[in-house]
Chain A
Amino acid sequence: MFRFIFLLLFTLNALANSDILKKVDDYRGFSGSFEMKVKVLDYDIDGKELEQIEFKVLVKNAGVSFLEYKFPKLDKGKMLLMKDENIWFYSTDISKPLRISPNQRLLGNVSNADVAHANFSYDYYSKIISEKADVITLELNAKRESVMYGKIILKISAIDYKPISGEFFAATGKLLKTANYTKFTTGKLAKMEIYDGILKNKKTVIEYSAYKERQVPDYYFNPEYLPRLK
């Protein structure tokens, strides 16, 4: 009996945590399919801008998204289709969609997960590890091996569940990066600053804008459909 009550309380607690995480996710998109613009600004340790990339991102659901380069102009026409850990690349140069491995990074220093996988509750289990008057600290643990980060320590506002900051760890426990969620507009995340786990001054800024709910048919996310999106 005691065991049953413990399990029930544990399950209810997990559900409550999961609800909190869904509210955090609401700041990073919509529950259904949507599109947004993403700008990535990469800086060196002296604060000098190294690179700027702009994408149009179409998110079908937490696991499926499509990303199209808009800037630099030389990269226009390059596309990435991501379905969980499966990734396809298309560019007008090669003229045929190619499946690529997760290590074949095509976004410079930015991970695919940072740009297009805007959903914590799909990828992570959560538990509250501290609760203060205005800040809740969550520990997120990856649901699958293929998830980019093994663990995330996420601080959120206790009032409206807005994400405040995060520490992102590899499965080995190594700190990969830290992030500050610095700007929100119309109820959505507008800017986050990411700092390298080792080179603390190395910064990448990601700006999100033009969030728009958009219904798209399934076949838009068929790899063979990519050439039609040029």
Chain B
Amino acid sequence: MRIAILLFLIFTSAFAFEFEETEKSLFFQGKLANVNSSSLFNQNNILSLNKRYADFRGYYGFKVTSDNEKAMLYLRNKAEVLRGDAEKNQEITIDEGYLTLTPLEELYIDVGKKNFKYGAFHGFTTFNLFEKGNPLINEDNYFKESATITKFFGENASTALSVIKRDKNYKADAIWKGSFSISKTDTNLYAFMKNEDRAIGFDVSQIKGESIKLKLGSVYYVRKGSFKLENYTLTPQQEKALKVLSSIEYSSVSGLNFIVEYLHNTAGLSKNQINQYYNYAQVNPFFGMQSNGFYDFLNLNKNYLFFMVYKKNIYNKLDLSLSSYLNLEDNGLMIISETKYKITNSMSGKIRLIIPAGKQETEFRRFYKQSILLSLEYVF
């Protein structure tokens, strides 16, 4: 980040600047999670350490652009006070901050801490190895110290290569992305390299008529990180797998939207395999707890479905959504409901309920607990 600011000062020292505030906001989030669970797997579950917490955040963002528009510095600062059962924290950090240089027409270079989000799907995040976790539950963005070079080709195509700092020794990961739009179809191609993991993939979105959107995507990957079921070893094993996603979205004239997404993962466990695994873990609790460390949301089993129905701007005030993940191997269900209410033009409140359902030893019941999140946002 310091390098980015220094580069900005050098690059723009000969030019005048334009200063613009981009954001001033306050955010509060409170979470209550149900800890009454009898699952032996939950004893060491890193995803449920907090049974309640309160998080206060303030954001201040601005950008400074040189008059010739060849250089731009963007900073978004975050002041945070977090109080929970398991953690207490207060800090002021640069949440997002980067320098953008435009040395040539259609060519952009970004250096600094930047947000990375890829993929065209709502419920699944297959195409971003850097974006693990549930996109509907995890609100945080994925700010990474990185350098990206982007080339646009007119209105309809672009390509970008990002090198992302992985650790203090400046070991790096890389992402390449190519995008193009032809008529009613958008296509994205990806290649990832993270540590020893490799992946290539694509997604295609197409609009049909006035109300239907179809999506198809696939990713082939080679990675370490899963345990070997055959001999129940916990040594990370290399796996080669293919994931395939398909989706249909329907939007009615009245504004009601429906989404159905399907994910198939060749490396995931089938119904029989997951039953064997649960049986083994029951008699070997240590194995059960240790194997939790390899857990990666929606990567455990072979087949998943995702449903979502939502409507926005009801009476210009209310956004409602109801989503659910269905694990087709263990028939576990995760229901997520969200209600967002616009209190004033500057203030909104949100309630989110997360309810894992199904039998005790199912993926969602093991790794997630019923929880309620309340949040308030005020924008200055």
Contact = CB atoms under 8 A, between A and B. Distances in A.
Contacts of B209: 101
Interface stretch (A14-22, A71-79, A149-157, A183-191): A71-79
Interface string A132-165: 0000000000000000000000000000000000
Contacts of A98: 120
Contact of A95 (B141, B156, B346, B380): B141
Contacts of A42: 316
A62 B105 CA distance: 24
A95 B210 contact: no
A95 B160 CA distance: 16
A230 B22 contact: yes
Given A72-B346, A83-B155, A99 B205 contact: yes
A230 B160 CA distance: 19
Interface string B141-177: 1000000001011111110100000000000000000
A173 interface: no
Nearest to A105: B255
A76 B379 CA distance: 9
A103 B210 contact: yes
Interface residues of A, number: 37
A133 to B, nearest CB: 42
- Secondary structure at the A interface, as helix, strand, loop or mixed, is mixed
A108 B252 contact: no
A131 interface: no
A73 B117 contact: no
Given A86-B207, A101-B211, A222-B155, A74 B316 contact: no
Contacts of B252: 103
Interface residues of B, number: 50
B2 interface: no
A197 interface: no
B345 A218 contact: no
Contacts of B345: 52, 71-74
Nearest to B347: A74
A74 B346 CA distance: 5
B282 interface: no
Contacts of A95: 115, 117, 141
B184 A225 contact: no
Given A99-B186, A103-B253, A222 B141 contact: no
A100 B106 CA distance: 25
Contact of A94 (B117, B181, B205, B380): B117
Contacts of A106: 312
A140 to B, nearest CB: 21
Contacts of A83: 155
Contacts of A72: 342, 345-346
A221 interface: yes
A222 B154 contact: yes
Contacts of B152: 219, 222, 224-225
B265 to A, nearest CB: 22
B108 interface: yes
Contacts of B179: 223-224
B271 to A, nearest CB: 34
Contacts of B153: 219
A71 B119 CA distance: 29
Contact of B154 (A86, A100, A218, A230): A218
Given A74-B348, A95-B141, A101-B212, A218 B155 contact: yes
B258 to A, nearest CB: 11
Contact of A108 (B106, B118, B313, B348): B313
Contacts of B105: 217
B213 interface: yes
Interface in B171-207: 179, 181, 183-184, 186, 205, 207
B205 to A, nearest CB: 5
A102 B210 contact: yes
Contacts of A228: 100, 108
Interface string A101-144: 11111101000000000000000000000000000000000000
Interface string B100-111: 100001101000
8 contacts: A72-B346, A74-B345, A86-B181, A96-B118, A108-B316, A218-B154, A219-B152, A228-B100
Given A74-B346, A108-B313, A224-B152, 16 more contacts: A72-B342, A72-B345, A73-B345, A74-B342, A98-B120, A100-B213, A101-B209, A101-B251, A217-B106, A219-B106, A222-B154, A222-B157, A224-B150, A224-B160, A224-B179, A225-B152
Interface of A: 42, 50-52, 64, 71-74, 76-77, 83, 85-86, 94-96, 98-106, 108, 217-219, 221-225, 228, 230
Of all A-B residue pairs in the complex, the 4 with the closest CB atoms, nearest first, are A72-B345, A219-B152, A103-B251, A95-B117
